[in-house]
Structure 1
Amino acid sequence: MKRPDLSQWKRLEFNDTPIYLQPELPLWIIPTTAGDAYIQRIQNGGALNNGFDPLGMTRARQLIGQMSIAAPEPYLGRASVLGLDRLEECWFHITDRCNLACRHCLFACSPKTRTTLSLEDFHAAFLQSFDLGARLFFITGGEPLIHPDFPQICRTILEYSEQNHLVILTNGLLLEERWETISALPRQRIHLQISLDGDRATHDRLRGAGSYDRLVRVLGWVGKSGIDTNLAMAVDRDNLTAMSHPVEVARAHGIRGVHYLWLLVTGNARPETALDPEPLFNGLIAANKRARGANIEIDNISSLAGRIFSPPGTRHDLGGGGWTSIAVGPDGRIYPTPALIGQGPACAGHIREGIETVWRKSDFFAQLRGLSVATDPDEATDPLRYLIGGSDMDHSYYAAGRFSGADPHRRLYRQLALWLMSEAAVETADDDRPRIRLKMGDRLLSCDNGGNGVSLTHSNCVLSVASAREVVGAFYTQAAVTPNTDIINPVCYAEDEIAHIPDSARVRSYGCGSPVMDADLQPGEVLVDLGAGAGVECFIAAKKVSQAGAVFGIDMTDDMLALANGATGRVARNLGYANVSFKKGYLEAIPLNDRTADAVISNCVVNLSEDKQRTFSEIYRILKPGGRLVISDVTTDTLPPAAILNDAKLRGECISGAMLQSRLVSLLESIGFERIQILKRFFYREVQGHRFHSLTFTAYRPEKPTTRPVIYPGPFAAVITDGGQVLLRGETTEVPWSGTDADSNALFLLDDTGTVIGAQGENTCACYTPPEAQHAAEPASSPGVRLLNGCMRCGSPLEYLTADRPMACCFCGETLPANAVCTNGHFVCDRCHSQDADLVVRRICQTTAETDMITLINTIRSHPAVPLHGPEHHFAIAGAIVATYRNRGGDVADADIQTAIDRGKGIPGGTCGFWGGCGAPLGAGIAFGVILKSTPLTPTQRKIVQDLTGALIAGISRVEAARCCQREVWTVLKAVAVQSREILPIALKAEGDTRCRQRHLNKECPGKVCPWWEDRGHLS
């Protein structure tokens, strides 16, 4: 392995958790302890192998591969990337007047202050900001509810457009008298932030005696109203010990969130009450511990988490004040943020100049937009600068009179960022393998950062973050209403797979593959479809798992669930049974019990997950031991540009959330999945010059294995198992083996005699002699060396002739009519084709004690003398039926077995096409003729044999496909076992292993048409 250059990675540590950061991109990872030691060794010039076992070196190579990233393009600051595309939000400080005179108010508001924004000025500013793109509006003060035109202001904002949202910042004491106005507003678009500064003692000390009890009484019915509400606490030295109290109040009153304001030392606030970052961090973590247990969000943490868990390469670069956000003061002056209202140096202009003019042309706003963490010397040295986003503009200004680089709380942000990373890593176990436990991008809490890779932070007055779930949910809700051709599944299903499904479900089949068709579903299995959408793949699965099985579809969008549930009744009527149910849920919290599913599928949905590690862990949880996931999703080979990863539309189209293929594999391994295999990969889409592929892959939850001997046949020198065992080419090795491993063609599984079990040990030639050649001369004593694939002489493919022609057998030399030759002109007659097989079949059938027909025929077919296809099967099935009947106590002698084989040898190759009767049913008819002692002069027995043979031929003909001797033999023997209950005094048995292991060998395999294609029987 070439020595990698890891010099660009910085090592940080928090609570003994190593964190590696590529600051300029940015990108971070958390390795295992072994991985940390390995990275440090490489960075210090140490050896690459360090004595790791082969699996350890494989994991180490995966780790280093995921750290080997091209250096990013130079970043010159946000002004080089962003433009004034649209104003997103506008704050209105509508009055300085307040019903309280709080000791920490940054504006020193009170009942005596009177400056108020007129309704006319508000209306003009509102319309202008709306025209510039603003859809989120804040009203604050003072106490905004005291404004005489408060009702009209609220109605103006929310009635003007259904896209508008309104946030009201209030001390809450006037909510009761304004409740008639507020309760009449559209509650899904109104948000309240209510001040609560600790417990009763601290709140009353800051806001006046009795204010706490009055507020708590109001919160009782605010919480019941359903209006989205946060409690906000301004933290200082006086109320630090009561920092967790708002969480308890929120829990008691059904309020969803808490927000903490870090004290701005201005207005009424005293400098001595300000706190250092350390006690603030400890108080915040303690409050968050309580909040988690109550399912309450602290938005200081969730807002920063949105940056830490954003797409790799996303740069957060200072605040959006003056860029995406402005604030209008009570006197009509315009500022970048609401906390800077009234500060002369921060004033950009007046509404009289026009909002657009000030926003676009103000020298002060242009100066703010020119600031960047990339160019500020006090910000540029922080390795976390692009994750944190740098200083808060307000705190920097009040601390040092400048708008970046001086925020006294930056150390708090850094501590919180590292804590968030280390806490997230706790969910994945550490171990002694060098690998990545968590990587930036595994969890996504923010995915709409402007679509250009540079994002601006929000004013600390109110923090908000758009979740990945909200973006995706909105996209697919619309897709449920109106079919979206951008995300329509390119896979088309055969009509017989979907004939029972209504068109309403079919036309909204979104995805990038067909996991339901690749999952080998069996009758009686339980399937879970994650992101089921309109349900088409659930309905396909419903038919495959049969009435004995069950299907659960999980989706997070109500509209998609309504479509799916609307089709279930018709699907049930068409199938004759109901086995499908749909549940609302999320990939990260699947609403099913542990060990529910035999198979979990998902079609182009996991890329939409906001926490892929948790999603795969949930899949692991609900799978039974030995269960499998089969997922089709979009992947890529190299890290896409941040502009792609942050595009909300591309996220809904399954592009922005695409995983690196290498990370996908290592993530599955770290969770505990085994036998991870890529089944299919094809080009999906190219975006901005970056290629994406559709990948179908499978992985299994481990089950308790047995130990079996295997041979790795090549072509490589060796392979490594998931357990770290090295299998050398050609060497017999004992390995852990579970039943589902039998699907693998990578290894030869050996029986007790050392013989290869399954198709790998089978001959595959099928050069048939026509019926006219049955009286040919005796062949030579031995046909010599015969190949196992294709023509017995040279291995070339076979060609069937439309008319017979005389040819000499390339083994015995006898000239006979030929109906099939290889591409090199070789013809093999039936006798030479079957000579060795004849002896094998006679010996096995004569000496066996086996009572199961399928088990016996499989034993015969596993012998190298018996090819994959050919007339050998005609006499083998006849001998096998009579032999097992004898072994079950039937009244036949050993001579009867020889008679059945002799008669079966008279059925020439190719009868299924040339005579219109497959040799397997004819061989079965011969066997029953022998058992029943049928002759042309025994009317009853003769009719029974003819009826049986005709029914068997009819059963074979239901499958429209080229010949497959295994398929025909198994199908006939299953039917024979059923018929024998009525015909014979002792019923025959056909319960042996019917797992197909020759798909890769049979070039004419019809795939899903075959009734044995999806058999999941285990090795006996």
Structure 2
Amino acid sequence: MKIENFLKWERLTFDQQAIYIDPDGPDWIAPNQTGDVLLSGIQKARSVSDGVSAFLSTLNGGKNIGLIRARQFLSLFPEPRPGNYPGRSRVLSLDRLKECWLHITDDCNMQCRHCLFAGTAGNQKRLSLEDIAQSVAEAFQLGVRTFYLTGGEPLIHPRFDDICRLILNTSDDVHLVVLTNGLLLSRHKDLLSQIPLDRLHFQISIDGTQATHDRCRGTGAFSRLMDTLGFISGSGVHVTLAMAVTADNAAQMTDIVQIAADYGIPEVHYLWLFVTGNATSAMMPEPSTLFRHLTDAETLARQTGVTIDNIRQIESQIFSTAGTKYDLGGAGWESLAIGPDGSVYPTPALVGQPEARCGHIRDSIKSVWQTSPALSQLRTLTVAESPDFAKDPLRYLVGGGDMDHSFYAGGAYAGHDPYVPLYNRMALWLIARAAGPEMSNSETPDPFPRIRIKMGDRVLQCDHNGTGVAFTHSNCVLTLSSNRQQVGQFYNNAALDPNPDIKNPVCYPEADISHIPASARIRSYGCGSPVLDAGLRPGETLVDLGSGAGMECFIASRQVGKNGRVVGIDMLDPMLERAEKSLTDVSRHLGYTNVEFKKGFLETLPLSDHAADVVISNCVINLSEDKRKTFSEIFRILKPGGRIVISDVVTDTPPPPEILNDEQLRGECIAGAMLQPYLSAILENTGFLDIQFLKRFFYREVRGHRFYSLTYTAFKPDATTDVPVVYPGPFAAVVTDSGKLLVRGHTETLDAAMASRFGDSVFVLDAEGNAANIAAQNACACFTPPAQIQVSPPQNLTIGLSLSPAPRFSAQCMVCGRPLQYLENNALKSCAYCGAVKSANAVCKQDHFVCDACHSQDALEMVRHVCLANRQTDMIDLLNTIRSHPAMPLHGPEHHFAVPGVIVSTYRNLGGDVSDADIVTAIERGRAIPGGICAFWGACGAALGVGVGFAVILKGNPLKPGERNLVQEVTGTVSRAINATTAARCCQRETWTALKTAASLSRQILPIPLVAKGKTACAQQAKNKECMGKKCPYI
């Protein structure tokens, strides 16, 4: 790592939060306290290695994990991009106009003390309807989709209604914004019923509370305004309250928020005063005063749901993609204003200023826009070449300030905006607020360096023409769009018509989607198959983020079964509507409904805490405008021990801003792709453990930059016990997320859940020191064959038992331990123990056959004794006790009578009405279920055993229709739960599943519900040759 890469960052602070700024990037990073210490040390030492060494010396222990975290942290600081920024005129071209301001009249029904234009009643200077029609048509052809009406008071124009209809009828994607004092709106009720209100916006002026407003605008003005707000707030029109802030009313900024909230108005806009027109310098408040009142107003705004769009605008600049340079305003590039005499100006605030005039509409807007010397000169201005900004580290984040304020304050378009200190302070405040409080007084600082938030973690807007250069917006009216709206439109269209531009390499096996209608399959947009990688288990609750047309939800619906639950969340109504339509067909095919769809956003999930066992998402997280908040929400809704399985697009190196700011590429899941190393850091910072990358494939190359489809998983911590483990190699050591060092060959303890997720990467040791989780044959040349070693059962199990002394193998052939071979057709064989000739369905290679009676002889006596004598109330715990006995084989028909014995025995211990005879009856009936029927008869003996147990408890018989029906339903449900896992037989897996399902069913069937919460962490992998490995729900 080069020291130059860290010396370029300037350290600023706000409210004790360190913020490192790369001024020329631009870029910013807010580290935690430890990260700040590390960075400061590197900069002070002017050496990366010396700074890291100094940091490591402060650690009392954990230097290995400290070095790893330090290297991880420092690797996230991007390398400088080659070349210097030459200024916006050398990067941008005149692509299209986006805004056209129409100052349609100077006439006004008021004369305000702070008016920019000193408007007066009776001023007849106005644009004609013909000139407006010509200007609108021409501007529309140049790309304008947002028109603004201003003045004076635009509602005074005698053709106001016609002007509104003319503009909004131009096209369905045209919006109209009207800046007004609002007092004449009630005269235009008929107009509001004739035009599309969803594309009409009013910005209504207010100057403070009643006394202040009336002092500025005349007695009674405030009361009339409140009448207007009462009328317009219920009309369906989007309204913003706008306040011109002066020294006289700055303290009332919070009052305006309250008024907006009282009338259901969603937004407030503060106009920073221009010292021109009727305003004087004495009326201008200090930036520090404005900031104090602005933050007070924001506190109330957050409580009442009101948005202050001055803050939103700075947010959209600060929380944009790293490397995005805000370089002055869009005047003359994307925006023009037309005065009441037809003259063209760069901005609406400059209308009437002779030195700002650029031409006239009679010369055509296109000609003025493209060839005016005044506009051409204005477009050459850039923050990059201005000495006024050279020492400001926030120059490309704030963007050089407002051009209109600079013009009026200093006579030039750049370098003189008196409100830049306010913008800079707002920027640092927003970053520090987004980073959040680091710790409470009772907590100790994080010992390792971390990034709390950095530029690009939140992206609120990305419509910058696919370049790395963006414009600030006129202070008169701020932004009307957001990144979420852009993405929403992209996928709204995809819901209506399949979009081939959205790369979609998903192809599911027909067996997984046979129950899903074709319409949902066509609109499955993704970059992986997380639902198939999630290892779903019957009864689990799954949440799919960005569920779209419901494809993954419908696949999961079958996998989690009737007793499971699936929730799909999407922000788009068309997608949700299509998913709901498909759900009807899916439910009909499956015979049950366990899926529901909810509208919501990734950053604010509409679910309670601890709601999900599994959260999946397919190529959607990249679309989030706040990825840290999204992962925090996922963490919140997961149950302890829950997991995420997510497929998304990632990249190895930061893409250039030209890609990051491309609106089309954002919809195509490219512009929002995460840096792969940073993804790991965010997951760790959120609190996830056991992060693992499952799959990675090349996805797409864009402008020479490669992107990959990554499927990854991670777990929410859960409180479990520690188990002994050994790391077997090949590396000298590995370090866990918690910092525990596992040295090759050394026995350590590890969280049991974490150890199980390590798979065969570590040996999990049993009580005898065996690697219980490794599928390997014991081939040692010891004196006594392992299978013949006599293991003493727990003392409480041997009381009253008389077990056969003959050595028996617990797995495969009971006689010799060789693998069993199942016969296609039954054959008569002589039992190796009792000699009786019986029908056999399996023998070993030595032709050994053991009949069911001999196979189960010792186990039967043991199960009877345990079930009659024990006092356990948890079925899993009792079954595990039984299976730990040497008489109980790994697999076999012994489990068929153990299951009903366990059910009836624990039911009695819970207080159920059960006798010894009932327990013996259950075991004897289960004993009659032969071995191998899971394949030969098509019904698992464990499922039948559950039916036996319920029948005994319910006193069922063939002549009782209700009990008979219930028992059959129980048996079928358990059988389906077992059958949900495609694998060779495993009596442990299937009895655990059977008992868990029985417990769930008992809550609706039995007077006293059964319990099945015991330990189900598999430790027999090494003994079970047919183990399905990590796909098993208990591994």
Shorter-chain TM-score above 0.5:
yes
Output one character per residue of 1:310-368: Cα deviation in whole Å (capped at 9) or x when no partner: 01111111001111000000011000000000111110001111111100000000011
Change (3 A) 1:956 1:317: same
Q: Which residue number in structure 2 is paired with residue 584 of structure 1?
A: 599
For structure 2, the residue ranges without an aligned partner over 5 or more in a row are 440-444, 799-806, 822-843, 867-889, 899-923, 941-974, 997-1011
Q: Which residue number in structure 2 is paired with residue 175 of structure 1?
A: 185
Q: Which residue number in structure 2 is paired with residue 20 of structure 1?
A: 20
DSSP-derived class of the 2:24 partner: coil
Q: Which residue number in structure 1 is paired with residue 427 of structure 2?
A: 417
What is the alpha-carbon distance in structure 1 between the residues aligned to residue 494 and residue 80 of structure 2? 37
For structure 1, the residue ranges without an aligned partner over 5 or more in a row are 765-782, 787-834, 892-918, 928-940, 979-989
Q: How does 1:257-656 map to 2 (within 5 A)?
A: 257-426=267-436, 431-487=446-502, 489-656=504-671
What is the alpha-carbon distance in structure 1 between the residues aligned to residue 242 and residue 1022 of structure 2? 65
Change (3 A) 1:704 1:920: closer
What is the alpha-carbon distance in structure 2 between the residues aligned to residue 9 and residue 857 of structure 1? 72
Output one character per residue of 1:565-584: Cα deviation in whole Å (capped at 9) or x when no partner: 11222212211111110100
Q: Which residue number in structure 2 is paired with residue 80 of structure 1?
A: 90
Residues 1:139 and 2:86 are matched in the alignment? no
Change (3 A) 1:368 1:881: farther
Change (3 A) 1:83 1:880: farther
Output one character per residue of 1:908-930: Cα deviation in whole Å (capped at 9) or x when no partner: xxxxxxxxxxx9889999x9xxx
Output one character per residue of 1:517-544: Cα deviation in whole Å (capped at 9) or x when no partner: 1111111111111111111111111111
8 Å CA contact 1:90, 1:129 repeated in 2: yes
Shift of 1:947: 7.2
Residues 1:888 and 2:863 are matched in the alignment? yes
Q: Which residue number in structure 1 is paired with residue 717 of structure 2?
A: 702
What is the alpha-carbon distance in structure 1 between the residues aligned to residue 434 and residue 990 of structure 2? 57
DSSP-derived class of the 1:243 partner: helix
What is the alpha-carbon distance in structure 2 between the residues aligned to residue 382 and residue 218 of structure 1? 44
**One-letter amino acid of the counterpart of residue 763, structure 1:** Q
Q: Which residue number in structure 2 is paired with residue 741 of structure 1?
A: 756
DSSP-derived class of the 1:225 partner: coil
What is the alpha-carbon distance in structure 2 between the residues aligned to residue 193 and residue 301 of structure 1? 17
Q: Which of 197, 209, 221 is the matching residue for 1:187?
A: 197
Change (3 A) 1:655 1:249: same
Shift of 1:967: 3.7
8 Å CA contact 1:25, 1:72 repeated in 2: no
DSSP-derived class of the 1:6 partner: helix
**One-letter amino acid of the counterpart of residue 334, structure 2:** T
What is the alpha-carbon distance in structure 2 between the residues aligned to residue 16 and residue 946 of structure 1? 72
What is the alpha-carbon distance in structure 1 between the residues aligned to residue 271 and residue 564 of structure 2? 55
8 Å CA contact 1:396, 1:402 repeated in 2: yes
Q: Which of 39, 48, 51 is the matching residue for 2:52?
A: 48
- Which segment is superposed worse, 110-119 or 611-620? 110-119
Shift of 1:130: 1.0
Output one character per residue of 1:487-540: Cα deviation in whole Å (capped at 9) or x when no partner: 253121111111111111111111111111111111111111111111111111
Residues 1:840 and 2:750 are matched in the alignment? no
8 Å CA contact 2:763, 2:774 repeated in 1: no
What is the alpha-carbon distance in structure 2 between the residues aligned to residue 31 and residue 675 of structure 1? 23
What is the alpha-carbon distance in structure 1 between the residues aligned to residue 167 and residue 510 of structure 2? 52
Q: Which residue number in structure 1 is paired with residue 8 of structure 2?
A: 8
Q: Tell me the TM-score normalized by structure 2.
A: 0.80
Change (3 A) 1:636 1:618: same
What is the alpha-carbon distance in structure 2 between the residues aligned to residue 974 and residue 549 of structure 1? 17
What is the alpha-carbon distance in structure 1 between the residues aligned to residue 669 and residue 812 of structure 2? 47
What is the alpha-carbon distance in structure 1 between the residues aligned to residue 395 and residue 503 of structure 2? 40
Q: How does 1:870-909 map to 2 (within 5 A)?
A: 881-889=856-864
8 Å CA contact 1:78, 1:372 repeated in 2: yes
Output one character per residue of 1:125-167: Cα deviation in whole Å (capped at 9) or x when no partner: 1111111111100000000000011111111100111111100
Change (3 A) 1:276 1:993: closer
What is the alpha-carbon distance in structure 2 between the residues aligned to residue 690 and residue 999 of structure 1? 44
Change (3 A) 1:719 1:272: same
- Which segment is superposed worse, 744-753 or 22-31? 744-753
DSSP-derived class of the 2:104 partner: strand
**One-letter amino acid of the counterpart of residue 301, structure 2:** A
- Which segment is superposed worse, 996-1005 or 55-64? 996-1005
What is the alpha-carbon distance in structure 2 between the residues aligned to residue 628 and residue 651 of structure 1? 27
Shift of 1:112: 3.4
Q: Which residue number in structure 1 is paired with residue 162 of structure 2?
A: 152
Q: Which residue number in structure 2 is paired with residue 211 of structure 1?
A: 221
Output one character per residue of 1:352-409: Cα deviation in whole Å (capped at 9) or x when no partner: 1111110000000001100000111112321111111112110000011101111111
Shift of 1:1016: 2.6
Q: Which residue number in structure 1 is paired with residue 687 of structure 2?
A: 672
Identity of aligned residues (%): 49
8 Å CA contact 1:635, 1:661 repeated in 2: yes
Q: Which of 670, 675, 688 is the matching residue for 1:660?
A: 675
8 Å CA contact 1:921, 1:953 repeated in 2: no
What is the alpha-carbon distance in structure 2 between the residues aligned to residue 432 and residue 572 of structure 1? 51
8 Å CA contact 1:516, 1:540 repeated in 2: yes
Output one character per residue of 1:933-983: Cα deviation in whole Å (capped at 9) or x when no partner: xxxxxxxx9xx9997556644549999x9xx996466689899999xxxxx
What is the alpha-carbon distance in structure 1 between the residues aligned to residue 480 and residue 820 of structure 2? 64
Q: Which residue number in structure 1 is paired with residue 777 of structure 2?
A: 763
Shift of 1:845: 10
8 Å CA contact 1:308, 1:387 repeated in 2: yes
What is the alpha-carbon distance in structure 1 between the residues aligned to residue 994 and residue 558 of structure 2? 26
Residues 1:1017 and 2:1002 are matched in the alignment? no
Shift of 1:5: 3.6
**One-letter amino acid of the counterpart of residue 139, structure 2:** S
What is the alpha-carbon distance in structure 1 between the residues aligned to residue 426 and residue 895 of structure 2? 76
Shift of 1:592: 0.6
Shift of 1:47: 3.5
DSSP-derived class of the 1:532 partner: coil
DSSP-derived class of the 2:6 partner: coil
**One-letter amino acid of the counterpart of residue 538, structure 1:** C
8 Å CA contact 1:743, 1:997 repeated in 2: no
DSSP-derived class of the 2:169 partner: helix
8 Å CA contact 2:813, 2:820 repeated in 1: no
Shift of 1:486: 2.9
What is the alpha-carbon distance in structure 1 between the residues aligned to residue 189 and residue 257 of structure 2? 24
What is the alpha-carbon distance in structure 1 between the residues aligned to residue 1021 and residue 465 of structure 2? 49
Output one character per residue of 1:564-608: Cα deviation in whole Å (capped at 9) or x when no partner: 111222212211111110100011110011011111111111110
What is the alpha-carbon distance in structure 2 between the residues aligned to residue 353 and residue 295 of structure 1? 46
RMSD: 3.8
What is the alpha-carbon distance in structure 2 between the residues aligned to residue 206 and residue 977 of structure 1? 77
- Which segment is superposed worse, 400-409 or 108-117? 108-117
8 Å CA contact 1:176, 1:218 repeated in 2: yes
Change (3 A) 1:113 1:757: same
Output one character per residue of 1:807-865: Cα deviation in whole Å (capped at 9) or x when no partner: xxxxxxxxxxxxxxxxxxxxxxxxxxxx976x6157469999989xxxx99976999x9
What is the alpha-carbon distance in structure 1 between the residues aligned to residue 327 and residue 430 of structure 2? 19
**One-letter amino acid of the counterpart of residue 702, structure 2:** V
DSSP-derived class of the 1:631 partner: strand
